[in-house]
Amino acid sequence: MPDHVFGRSTGTVLPRAVRGDGCYIIDEAGRRYLDGSGGAAVSCLGHSDAEVRAALHEQLDALAFAHTGFFTTAAAEALADLLIDHAPPGLERVYLVSGGSEAVEAALKLARQYFLETGAPQRHRVIARRQSYHGNTLGALAAGGNAWRRQQFAPLLAETSHISPCYAYRDSAEGESPEEYGLRVANELEAEILRLGPETVMAFIAEPVVGATLGAVPAVPGYFRRIREICDHYGVLLILDEVMCGMGRTGHLFACAEDGIEPDMITIAKGLGAGYQPIGALLASGRIYDAIAAGSGFFQHGHTYMGHAMAAAGAHAVLSAILGRGLLPRVVTQGQRLDAALRSAFDTHPHIGDIRGRGLFLGLELVADKATKAPFEPERKLHARIKAAAFEAGLICYPMGGTIDGRRGDHVLLAPPFIISDDQIDELVDKLSRAVAVALA
């Protein structure tokens, strides 16, 4: 049968996935793949959650879709209420979309409109960090720090400038404490705001724990508190992109809880859908919403499928499961168990330079030389070889690397379902160890 699906890679033939069973995906040939990365930090409840499926069926039987130009729905309202009940203080409004890039677009446009309506139309610039990913639509791509991804679409992208990520393993100086390092890199934001002119800067966007581009790298303690201070001082909005690290993945519903800060906006997506429905959301402060309500009263943005009733009902069931089944403490204990298993398998490995992350959001960094932290040559495509070897062994993991935004390196991201069992953790680490050995051979 000819395959007319238009995917990412035109030349690759992929196995056909037919069924989900807890932490496993099963293909047409009956092969079982342990989902060690939840796809890309998506499937937090595994692939066959009965309550989410029941909620989707129930909503489908009642009403699948009612256009947000005409109606609200109980499903969308209940989801927004639950999110706000558990959100950091100050975040009071929810804008429901269909994925992560849409949530980031909405955040950037809401920031722009906020300044247009509060008498600061010259504030249009966005500052982000190098080696970052915030989505693939033109606005989100413009925000992200990945020269290679961006250059192909210039000049369509808005101008964004980029400061250093907070990446202590690679960038902290000899003898510098984590706190000193955090302050030093956070202060780059102030320097950049002053360079651009504070009256022109609208927002700073960053992931509290960097997912795809660095491999589960949390900021050092104090970094985001200093970032918050700088944003407050210069009137710049702070947008936290929790599309990957949010929704319980780090052991807190919102990853920024650990950093003790209150952002102006948070974007979420992957874990909120948990793979059952496409959904994303922007959480915004009451201050931003109220300014627009008092001004034009109309957010100049929207998508046909925003606030989709089935997506909202499914996401409400996902969120209720995360909050109600004790899954947040489970993420902490299973995260510690996975971390310990990774350390016992890789601590003395000559080519694993760092094991880091929070909760069930962990990363391994591969190095050619552990002492100098020198990365492997990009031509070796180590990340791609690990992905292939792991898949062959029946493990889905999320390696990334080569050269991203001028920085070389390879890492493997792990983000298994929160329901992963002790035995499955052992299976994951065993298969990953074998895949790393095959890739390095």
Interacting residues of 10 by C-beta distance below 8 A, sequence separation 6+:
none
Per-residue string for binding with ligand PMP, 113-152, x by CB under 6 A? --------------------xxx-----------------
> In the complex, what is the shortest distance from the CB of residue 36 to ligand PMP, in angstroms, rounded to a whole number?
16
Among 269, 313, 425, 435, binds ligand PMP (CB under 6 A): 269
Return the residue matching tokens 């290679």: 148
> In the complex, what is the shortest distance from the CB of residue 137 to ligand PMP, in angstroms, rounded to a whole number?
7
Q: Which stretch binds ligand PMP (CB under 6 A): 50-58, 182-190, 205-213, 389-397?
A: 205-213
| 110 scored as a contact of ligand PMP (CB under 6 A) | no
Backbone angles phi, psi at 131, to 5 degrees: 50, 50
> In the complex, what is the shortest distance from the CB of residue 369 to ligand PMP, in angstroms, rounded to a whole number?
29
> In the complex, what is the shortest distance from the CB of residue 9 to ligand PMP, in angstroms, rounded to a whole number?
16
Buried b (16+ CB within 10 A) or exposed e, 101-123: bbbbbbbbebbbbbbbbbeeeeb
Tokens of 180: 């000193």
> Which residue's CB is nearer to ligand PMP, number 104 or number 256?
104
> In the complex, what is the shortest distance from the CB of residue 161 to ligand PMP, in angstroms, rounded to a whole number?
18
| 241 scored as a contact of ligand PMP (CB under 6 A) | yes
| 250 scored as a contact of ligand PMP (CB under 6 A) | no
> In the complex, what is the shortest distance from the CB of residue 131 to ligand PMP, in angstroms, rounded to a whole number?
12
Footprint on residues 85-104 left by ligand PMP (CB under 6 A): 99-101, 104
Among 26, 40, 74, 257, binds ligand PMP (CB under 6 A): 40
> Which residue's CB is nearer to ligand PMP, number 148 or number 298?
148
Buried b (16+ CB within 10 A) or exposed e, 255-278: bbebbebbbbbbbbbbbbbbbbbb
> Which residue's CB is nearer to ligand PMP, number 116 or number 244?
244
Return the residue matching tokens 């196995």: 15
Alpha-carbon torsion (130, 136, 139, 140), positive or negative: negative
In whole angstroms, give the CA distance from residue 366 to residue 402: 11
Q: What do you get for the CA distance between the two ends of the chain, in Å? A: 37
In DSSP notation, 233-247 reads HHT-EEEEE-TTTTT
How, if at all, do strands 280-285 and 265-268 pair? antiparallel
> Which residue's CB is nearer to ligand PMP, number 34 or number 244?
244
Among 23, 116, 206, 212, binds ligand PMP (CB under 6 A): 212
> Which residue's CB is nearer to ligand PMP, number 91 or number 425?
91
> Which residue's CB is nearer to ligand PMP, number 105 or number 427?
105
> In the complex, what is the shortest distance from the CB of residue 42 to ligand PMP, in angstroms, rounded to a whole number?
9
In whole angstroms, give the CA distance from residue 26 to residue 265: 38
> Which residue's CB is nearer to ligand PMP, number 190 or number 258?
258
> In the complex, what is the shortest distance from the CB of residue 134 to ligand PMP, in angstroms, rounded to a whole number?
5
Return the residue matching tokens 């002790």: 422
> Which residue's CB is nearer to ligand PMP, number 146 or number 424?
146
Q: Which among 128, 171, 159, 152 is positioned nearest to 407, based on CA atoms?
A: 171
Helix (H, G, I), strand (E, B) or coil at 274: coil
Peptide bond into 155 cis (omega under 30): yes
| 315 scored as a contact of ligand PMP (CB under 6 A) | no
Return the residue matching tokens 């429905």: 277
> Which residue's CB is nearer to ligand PMP, number 189 or number 244?
244
In whole angstroms, give the CA distance from residue 353 to residue 290: 48
In DSSP notation, 118-177 reads TT-TT--EEEEESS----SSHHHHHHS--HHHHHTTTTSSPPEEEE----HHHHPPTT--
| 283 scored as a contact of ligand PMP (CB under 6 A) | no
> In the complex, what is the shortest distance from the CB of residue 411 to ligand PMP, in angstroms, rounded to a whole number?
14
> Which residue's CB is nearer to ligand PMP, number 167 or number 346?
167
Residues that bind ligand PMP (CB under 6 A): 40, 99-101, 104, 133-135, 207, 211-212, 241, 243-244, 269
